[in-house]
């Protein structure tokens, strides 16, 4: 159950119709979930697919690295050129490279003529605390399934796709998503959507309270030596230049601090933002409009993390490890705008 169904509203801005990344027109999301409790397999891949890349080689994008202990494939060219050339995949650490290879194959098969150079973009989390027996389970077929089934339907949340093996803030983590509508931006209402692969350390903050598993009578999930990671993907349905999208991406990563992320040494924390609207000469957003987008990102990331924890459920591994989902009563007890 999502936070809003429990009476907890995060922030004051209105949401899009699905309160998810797919509220941004032209953005699709697909998952392949790998879960087998009998053998302790918890992994998968999530695909974020901008449909505008079907008709043009790149979209404007920005990247922010809050902590670079990660294997973010394609990061340097993305940051240097401010261009997104492929869908974005989210998976587990040692599956990132196989996923990147599969993404190259998928892109080359669809491009006419095929490019001579390509920068696949793949983010990852370390899900080894739950799925350590399976360090790189994702295959090319799993990646192709996530890409091929990506849709604009409401985004499945929790222990799905690249969030299947995630732990965050001491609870079972996973995929979260939310959206906000702000305006006027570029003369109309704009939709800002986020998707979060939540796997970071820290302690959950709800309003003015800190909520811990121990305080709820539960055991803490995740490694005592924090080696998590979190990837935040932000999409806008307005044209925006790359350097401003880099600033938007930074707000995505920094918003994790609102829910208690620790940004520890061993956690790769990344924000990626892109415009789903193609433009060869995007208009520079003036400060007031940019501030509105920043506020939307902040609210949406906070709610997305909370929903990831609420919808993840609990996992009990064959070797005796337990990751508890965030109980609904912990949110109900602290309900109210944050």
**Residues annotated catalytic, as ranges:** 229, 267, 269
Q: How far is CA 256 from CA 17, 129, 169, 204, 250, in A?
A: 24, 21, 11, 10, 10
Write phi, then psi, for 6 (nearest 5 degrees).
-95, 5
Token output for 66: 């809050």
Rounded CA separation 151/142 (Å): 16
Distinct helix (H) and strand (E) counts, the chain: 7, 16
Whether 213 contacts 206, CB under 8 Å: no
Token output for 214: 């121990």
Rounded CA separation 15/200 (Å): 25
Rounded CA separation 135/150 (Å): 25
Rounded CA separation 261/77 (Å): 27
- Please state the length of the chain: 338
Reading phi first (left if > 0) and then psi (alpha if -120 to 50, else beta), residue 271 is in: beta
121-125 and 88-92 strand pairing: parallel
Give, as one character, the DSSP assignment of residue 151. B
Rounded CA separation 241/247 (Å): 10
Q: Based on the number of CB atoms within 10 Å of its own CB, is 199 exposed (0-12), middle (13-18) or buried (19 or more)? A: buried
Apex CA 169: angle with CA 18 and CA 327, to 5°? 65
């Amino acid at each position: 159950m999502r936070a809003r169904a429990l009476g907890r509203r995060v922030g004051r801005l209105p949401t899009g119709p699905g309160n998810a990344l797919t509220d941004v027109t032209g953005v699709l999301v697909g998952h392949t979930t790998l879960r087998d409790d009998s053998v302790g397999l918890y992994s998968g891949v999530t695909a974020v697919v901008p449909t505008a890349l079907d008709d043009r080689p790149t979209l404007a994008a920005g990247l922010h690295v809050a902590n670079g202990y990660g294997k973010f494939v394609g990061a340097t060219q993305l940051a240097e050129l401010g261009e997104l050339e492929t869908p974005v995949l989210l998976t587990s650490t040692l599956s990132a490279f196989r996923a990147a290879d599969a993404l190259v194959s998928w892109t080359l098969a669809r491009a006419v003529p095929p490019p001579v150079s390509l920068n696949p973009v793949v983010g990852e989390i370390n899900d080894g605390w739950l799925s350590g027996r399976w360090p790189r389970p994702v295959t090319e077929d799993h990646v192709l399934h996530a890409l091929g089934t990506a849709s604009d339907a409401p985004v499945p949340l929790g222990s799905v796709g690249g969030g299947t093996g995630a732990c965050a803030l001491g609870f079972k983590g996973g995929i979260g998503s939310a959206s906000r509508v702000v305006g006027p931006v570029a003369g109309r209402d704009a939709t800002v959507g986020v998707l979060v692969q939540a796997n970071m350390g820290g302690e959950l903050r709800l309003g003015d309270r800190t909520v811990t598993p121990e305080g709820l009578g539960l055991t803490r999930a995740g490694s005592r030596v924090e080696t998590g990671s979190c990837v935040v993907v932000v999409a806008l349905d307005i044209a925006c230049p790359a350097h401003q999208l880099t600033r938007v991406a930074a707000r995505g990563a920094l918003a994790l601090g609102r829910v208690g992320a620790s940004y520890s040494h061993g956690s790769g924390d990344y924000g990626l933002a892109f415009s789903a609207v193609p433009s060869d000469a995007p208009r520079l957003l003036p400060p007031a409009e940019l501030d509105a987008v920043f506020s939307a990102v902040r609210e949406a990331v906070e709610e997305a993390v909370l929903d990831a924890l609420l919808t993840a459920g609990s996992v009990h591994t064959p070797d005796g490890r337990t990751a508890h989902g965030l109980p609904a009563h912990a949110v109900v007890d602290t309900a109210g705008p944050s």
